[in-house]
Amino acid sequence: MIALVQRVARAHVEIAGCTVGAIDAGLLVLVCAEPADTQAQVQRLVAKLLALRIFGDAEGRMNRNLQDVGGGLLLVSQFTLAADTSRGNRPGFSAAAPPDLGRQLFDAVLAEARARHAPVAAGVFGADMQVHLVNDGPVTIPLTIR
């Protein structure tokens, strides 16, 4: 799985002008499933997201995780994270999981996150979404879970 983690002051996802998911301070995570991903990658990704120490402590050091600060988690499916731009100017997306598997794995990430943390919000798999965020820091971290 590929994820792009952004520490945010707030974030929300809209579809056709309607908010479908929103959080205050926490993490906005763009998630891309790959063809070989399994439940093991789902569990490792969620564990990493909840344990990632990227929030400031009393001294301003990144020593606190999402659960320490009681932050929100906003998950958004994003197959374009698997883009191959090595040839030409048009990206290829064959490294992303096919839509049925991608949906299944994204739903599994969402279920695992909701079982282990609150609040958790999400976009809608496969929808044309507008993602609004205020990146805090800015802090943006790419993750690859194998």
Number of domain units in the chain: 1
In a domain? residue 141: no
Q: What are residue 23's phi and psi, to 5 degrees?
A: -140, 160
Instruction: For residue 107, give its domain range.
Output: 2-85+92-136
In a domain? residue 117: yes
In a domain? residue 128: yes
In a domain? residue 98: yes
Local confidence pLDDT in tens for the 146 residues of the chain: 999 999 999 999 999 999 999 999 999 999 999 999 999 999 999 999 999 999 999 999 999 999 999 999 999 999 999 999 999 999 999 999 999 999 999 999 999 999 999 999 999 999 999 999 999 999 999 999 99
In a domain? residue 30: yes
Sign (positive or negative) of CA dihedral 132, 98, 119, 71: negative
Residues with catalytic roles? 78-80
CATH number at residue 112: 3.50.80.10
